[in-house]
Chain A
Amino acid sequence: MELKDKLVSSYVAFENRVETDSEVHEIRSKALQNFEALGFPTKKLEAWKYTSLSSVLKQDYSLFPNKENNIQLADVKKYFIHDIDAYKLVFIDGKYSSFLSETTHDTFDVCLMSAALVKPKYKAVIENYFDKIATKDNLTSLNTAFASEGAYIHIPKNIEVEKPIQIINLTTGSEAATLLQPRNLIVVEQNAHVQIIERHQSLTSNPVLTNSVTEVFAAKDATVDIYKIQNDDESASLVDNSYIEQKSNSVVSVHTFSFGGNITRNNLNFYQRGEHIDSILKGITIIEGKQHVDHHTLVHHIGPNCESHQDYKGIFDERSTGVFNGKVVVEKEAQKTNAYQKNNNVLVSDKATINAKPQLEIFADDVKCSHGCTIGQLDDDALFYMQQRGIPKKEGKALLMYAFANTVLESVKIPEVKQRITKLIAKKLGVDIGFDL
């Protein structure tokens, strides 16, 4: 059976497991109809021109993994940023693991979507925010239709969360192939501040497909920093859909580090509703083998006097493919917008491919918008210079690549995350970079 049909027909089974007499369920049912009409994206769609999911969709995924899987903390500790104190939301095969997690309800909520969707206490927030900015496209609709579990984070006014929140999705692979659809909601009220680290990790070589949707609302003066670490097993594919709405004077940054996985597609969408908003989108991609990473960004400038900064660096080896599709839309009311977009790529191998499409759509006249996109190689002269001074070629290359990616790394605000990423890069490049930053 085709995956689409399987999903649609499994909806009845899904309905037995969730509360159906609710507004949320109406949203789900509508989303299912929408998905039924649209189906999975194909390369014929402009947005999916360079990324084909067909190989991934062939697998026979189990939709609702049943088995409880207990994992020892020691086995998965390495996937956490463990050297800092943090709130943790850990999901194993899509199920919440209370044993590995650390939640709170003290002054703010870091808890579960499954609870938030049913408990009256959260009703107002769910009504106001759930599925409000997520687009009605195919994969997001699919996620909405089966939305039941994920992270629920609500930070009230004037609260600065003192430690980061880690959201970790683990897959054990006890089933032959697993499809996961986490659904996260992050609401940050006025003048609140939160840092979030997100990671998807497969513990098996069985195929995994994750279709994740995250909605983030940043109210006036709020600050949100999100770090996405994508260093998954080669059999795991990820479609990460993030929708971020910002109000006046808010600052939201999203850093995406893509080092692993089979096919990774990041749909990152920013909507600026207000003035003096700053949106920061940064990413480092270092892949090899047959890996495929696709960054699909949208920054929608709706209000005046806002800024956006995009900076994506990519290093592609062997037969890997990189895609960058960045779109900046400036509405005619969004005067005095400053929008910058930068995408730099290095091809290391003859077989690697890059497809880039940096796109601007501008309807306002008093704006400064620019985009730059380059594809090139490492500077041979610089490499030679280092070799002359006794740095072996391999290390020299690694240093150059590290320097190349460093502008993105510099803006990471949590030192431990920066350190972890530096180590991952060093490992990826097969060298030991003898300094910490």
Chain B
Amino acid sequence: MSKYTEEQLEQELKTQEYKYGFYTDIESETFAKGLNEDVVRAISKKKNEPQWMTDWRLDAFRVWEKMEEPEWANVHYEKPKFQDIAYYSAPKEKPKLNSLDEVDPELLDTFKRLGISLDEQKKLANVAVDIVIDSVSVATTFKKTLGEKGIIFMPISEAIQEHPELVRKYLGTIVPTTDNFYAALNSAVFSDGSFCYIPKGVRCPMELSTYFRINEGGTGQFERTLVVADKGSYVSYLEGCTAPSRDENQLHAAVVELVAMDDAEIKYSTVQNWYPGNKEGKGGVYNFVTKRGLCENNAKISWTQVETGSAVTWKYPSCILKGNNSVGEFYSIAVTNNYQQADTGTKMIHLGKNTKSTIISKGISAGKSQNSYRGLVQIGARAENARNFSQCDSLLMGNLCGAHTFPYIEVKNKTAQVEHEATTSKIGEEQLFYCNQRGIDTEKAIALIVNGFSKDVLNKLPMEFAVEAQKLLEISLEGSVG
């Protein structure tokens, strides 16, 4: 029988290296470091933006200047030096490409190494992909198929040019520029991201996907995603991210806004695998993200996230359940290893009648990492018959890591039903023994148990993505997941 023990697993976890840490030598154009109004103007100009957009950015910048970095999160890190970051970096402008064959072979090679092929496989998998490298969108696939249905799926910079009325109507309505420090920063300097609009009653025939990659050193990534699902429509949106291994801490401050109108449904899945830093805790991406969705009547927003990367994560995908009968869901797996720190969770703001929300959060901490769940469930005075169920489970491996839960529950309506439960445990000796008795060796048993622990969330991912997510879990906890 295999003598594989938890100690060995821990050992393996400690020595596990990041697989996406390569750097692609693509010629790129990067602004000088530093941030001031001129840089904001320059970004706006670079993007050929209309005046209203420039003003909007400048407003955000002026607000940002007066704000202070938040310190309430349960994470400790060296503050990024905001004047030491290049706020714009893009693969060097080439003539507009008509087909993928014309794409820089280096770039295509990058995608191959990331495990994304832009052609055959994706056609089979039926996923439309928008790829953002260093905050600039480089390729969008399946535009034509989507166009036939009236679906708009394009880089947000193009959307500002081609559909300014739509962008202007919704941009910043869910996450205002003044929302928080990083949202304000993002509003001022974001260079690209994805924009998606699903017209009335349309069910998007394929998964939409954005792949983010930070490539250049000394830069930050600031992308902005806006998804608008018009009445009665449906869309499933996927997001994945990687970055090269670097000794410096790179900043990623994104904003995602979702608008689900009456009877619409948005499913937003993230597999976050930014470079987590090496095993001494050096380097890694700071992931400070603001994600929020608004539900009108009968609408539904579902956030699913698999968080395995980043040195520091600070992320709370939220749902504002404004409409009656609207539904919010949050499914999360957060894995931290070595010196990673994650403070993640959700906010469910119940305003409408008969609103429902479900929160399932699974945290796995190993090494010397700290993993926190922070959530808010708020039931407004007029939210009759609101219903919430929250479950936060933590799994600890070794006694050098920590698991924390900070749930906030605020109820102002007597018809509300709110349930919250949390557990913390390790992989039980009995569970392992039971498996061993039945001829399953310890390594497989641990894999089985971890997999079972995260299953509630993995099940919620779209099929194509579930495979990728499971692979990521393998990478983060290799040797334990089968």
Contacts and interface: CB of A to CB of B under 8 A. Distances in A.
Interface of A: 46, 332, 335, 345, 347-377
Contacts of B407: 356-359, 373
Nearest to B406: A359
B130 to A, nearest CB: 39
Interface in B368-415: 379, 381, 394, 396-415
B396 A362 contact: yes
Nearest to A322: B411
Going nearest first, the 8 A-B pairs with the smallest beta carbon separation are A347-B414, A365-B396, A375-B418, A356-B409, A373-B420, A369-B424, A365-B426, A370-B423
Nearest to B426: A365
A263 to B, nearest CB: 18
Nearest to B421: A372
Contacts of B413: 347, 350
A374 B399 contact: no
B421 A353 contact: no
Given A359-B405, A372-B421, A373-B419, A353 B426 contact: no
B381 to A, nearest CB: 7
Contacts of B394: 360, 362
Contact of A360 (B381, B404, B409): B404
A364 B433 CA distance: 21
Nearest to B408: A357
Interface string B425-462: 11000000000000000000000000000000000000
Contacts of A348: 414
Nearest to A375: B418
Contact of B399 (A350, A365, A369, A376): A365
A375 B405 contact: no
27 contacts: A350-B414, A354-B409, A355-B408, A355-B409, A356-B408, A356-B409, A356-B410, A358-B407, A360-B404, A360-B422, A361-B402, A361-B403, A362-B403, A365-B396, A365-B401, A366-B426, A367-B426, A368-B425, A369-B423, A370-B422, A371-B420, A371-B422, A372-B422, A373-B418, A375-B411, A375-B417, A376-B418
Interface of B: 72, 379, 381, 394, 396-426
Contacts of B409: 354-357, 373, 375
Contacts of A368: 423-425
Contacts of B397: 365
Contact of B411 (A347, A349, A359, A366): A347
Contacts of A364: 396, 399
Contact of A350 (B381, B410, B417): B381
A374 B410 contact: no
Contacts of B406: 357, 359
A363 B418 contact: no
Most buried by B among A364, A372, A375: A375
A376 B403 CA distance: 28
A362 B404 contact: yes
A365 B379 CA distance: 34
Contact of B400 (A332, A345, A359, A369): A332
B416 A347 contact: yes
A304 to B, nearest CB: 11
B402 A362 contact: yes
A368 B403 CA distance: 12
A361 B409 CA distance: 17
Contacts of A377: 414-415, 417
B424 A349 contact: no
A374 B405 CA distance: 16
B407 to A, nearest CB: 6
Contact of B410 (A354, A360, A372): A354
A46 B381 CA distance: 23
Contacts of A374: 417-420
Contact of B417 (A332, A355, A361, A376): A376
Given A347-B413, A373-B419, A376-B417, 5 more contacts: A332-B399, A357-B407, A357-B409, A365-B397, A374-B419
Contacts of B404: 359-362
A414 B259 CA distance: 58
Contacts of B405: 358-360, 371
Contacts of B412: 352-353
Q: Which of B397, B400, B405 has most A Cβ within 10 Å?
A: B405
Contact of A358 (B381, B422, B425): B422
Nearest to B402: A363
A347 B411 CA distance: 9
A350 B383 CA distance: 10
Nearest to B370: A363
B421 A370 contact: yes
A370 B424 contact: yes
A362 B420 contact: no
Nearest to A324: B409
A345 B420 CA distance: 12
B6 to A, nearest CB: 9
A375 B416 contact: yes
B8 to A, nearest CB: 15
Contacts of B402: 361-363
A316 to B, nearest CB: 8
A375 B424 CA distance: 22
A306 to B, nearest CB: 15
A369 B405 CA distance: 11
A335 B72 contact: no
Nearest to B391: A372
Contacts of B399: 332, 335, 363-366
A360 B372 CA distance: 9
Given A355-B408, A359-B407, A360-B405, A373 B421 contact: yes
Nearest to A360: B405
Contacts of B396: 362, 364-365, 367
A362 B72 CA distance: 18
A354 to B, nearest CB: 5
A397 to B, nearest CB: 13
B33 to A, nearest CB: 35
Contact of A354 (B403, B411, B421): B411
A368 B426 CA distance: 8
A364 B426 CA distance: 9
A250 B326 CA distance: 50
B149 to A, nearest CB: 43
Nearest to B417: A376
A97 to B, nearest CB: 43
Contacts of B426: 365-367
A354 B411 CA distance: 5
Contacts of A372: 419-422
A362 B424 contact: yes
A45 B423 CA distance: 27
A377 B384 CA distance: 12
Nearest to B423: A370
Contacts of B410: 353-356
Contacts of A356: 407-411, 420
